[in-house]
Amino acid sequence: MESSQPYEPSTQTNQPFFNHNPTSLKIAVIGFGNFGQFLAKAFVRQGHTVLAHSRSDYSATAQKLGVSFFSDPDDLCEQHPEVVVLCTSILSTEKVIKTIPFQRLRRNTLVVDVLSVKEFPRDLLLSYLPPEFDILCTHPMFGPQSGKLSWVGLPFVFDRVRIGSGDYRTDRCDEFLGIFAREGCRMVEMSCAEHDKFAAGSQFVTHTMGRVLERFRLESSPINTKGYETLLNLVHNTAGDSFDLYYGLFMYNKNAMEQLERLDMAFEGLKKELFGNLHEVCRKQLFGHTEGITESITQSENKIPKFLPPSPMKVGIPEFLNGIGKGVETHVAKLESEIGDFHKLLVTRTLKLKKLGVPCKHVMLPPLLSSLN
């Protein structure tokens, strides 16, 4: 974790938070799961009174953390918390908001959300909350894993969506933000729309890669490089988050789909480049012109170097097998229907070819192809 200067009073966004003595707030956390508990610990540590409500019964956990747990949202609201922090899953937020008896809260309560997407809860809060309630949309951009030891230097994004006039309201909002500033977070004020744009290109991509590598079953080895350790850490950091959270990042951030498609295209592009080079090497081995093969691999921009004669013919499965001869050309139809195209044939394992009745052992496969099998 980076150890940076926790607070920069000269920057506009950090300016207000330490201007007065901290006062204790009564904070209600709604959604007392993984992240709700993580935040509550910091609130308690800083001397605030913390109440909680959740779908599941967390009375025992709450007691250990010094938090008062209320199974009934009416009972919680009747305690008149000054700040209500919504910490439910993105997917359940609307349902949960509908169950909160706002009429039992004080008329000017500050409602804060900490969802990992921002335009979605902003719109929900604006449409469901009584107009006299204050709204602060936030995203602490760290979690129980990445913020386990310290929050110093970790970004905390916020948008004062609707804070009424008057010292009490503005001070209360600053007081709440001060909790994170005091922990050393890097306070970043930006609109919900801007957040979602940046977060799709960074956080969503990070979670996606973490989940892809988790499915890939990345394992530690005795010769881990530093880069590989980074990948293992990425998997470790993202595996702790629920799938609901990840799905919420995708479903409720309109920019996420574009990033997923870009990732897909980048992966395909890379594969094409590799197979393009492989294709060229095999073509040379089949049809001669061995000069320039090495160069063709290193030229990533142009797959076929300019000094090589243009490809005399397209290499498909028939051309390839005819080039080998020795009877394998009789298997063209079978391989075309079972394997598909030449690129796929290049990476098909010997075992599969044998199962298809193609006598690999007796075929003089090009050395590169043999080494793949």
Ligand X SMILES: NC(=O)c1ccc[n+]([C@@H]2O[C@H](COP(=O)([O-])OP(=O)(O)OC[C@H]3O[C@@H](n4cnc5c(N)ncnc54)[C@H](OP(=O)(O)O)[C@@H]3O)[C@@H](O)[C@H]2O)c1
Which chain residues interact with ligand X by CB under 6 A? 31-36, 54-56, 87-90, 92, 95-96, 114-116, 140, 143, 241-242, 244-245, 248
Task: Please state the closest distance from residue 2 (CB atom) to ligand X, in A.
Answer: 17
Residue nearest to ligand X (CB): 143
Q: How far is residue 2's CA from residue 151's CA, in Å, rounded to a whole number?
A: 9
If the CB atoms of residues 59 and 191 are measured against ligand X, the closer one turns out to be: 59
If the CB atoms of residues 171 and 189 are measured against ligand X, the closer one turns out to be: 189
Residues whose CB is less than 8 angstroms from the CB of residue 245 and which lie 6 or more positions away in sequence, other chains included: 89, 90, 116
Element (DSSP H or E) covering residue 69: strand 68-69
Both tokens of 205, joined, read: 């991509």
CB-CB contact of 296 with 281 (8 Å)? yes
If the CB atoms of residues 238 and 277 are measured against ligand X, the closer one turns out to be: 238
Task: Please state the closest distance from residue 208 (CB atom) to ligand X, in A.
Answer: 15
Task: Please state the closest distance from residue 115 (CB atom) to ligand X, in A.
Answer: 4
DSSP 305-348: -TTSPPPSS---HHHHHHHH-TTGGGGHHHHHHHT-SHHHHHT-
Residues whose CB is less than 8 angstroms from the CB of residue 53 and which lie 6 or more positions away in sequence, other chains included: 28, 29, 30, 32, 69, 70, 71, 72, 73, 76
If the CB atoms of residues 144 and 292 are measured against ligand X, the closer one turns out to be: 144
Task: Please state the closest distance from residue 128 (CB atom) to ligand X, in A.
Answer: 15
Burial track 199-237 (b if 16+ CB lie within 10 A, e otherwise): bbeebbbebbebbebeeeebeeeeeeeeeeeebeebbeb
If the CB atoms of residues 14 and 89 are measured against ligand X, the closer one turns out to be: 89
Task: Please state the closest distance from residue 158 (CB atom) to ligand X, in A.
Answer: 12
If the CB atoms of residues 195 and 279 are measured against ligand X, the closer one turns out to be: 195
If the CB atoms of residues 243 and 307 are measured against ligand X, the closer one turns out to be: 243
CA nearest neighbour of 250 among 212, 191, 192, 203: 203
Specify the amino acid at residue 372. L
Task: Please state the closest distance from residue 130 (CB atom) to ligand X, in A.
Answer: 22
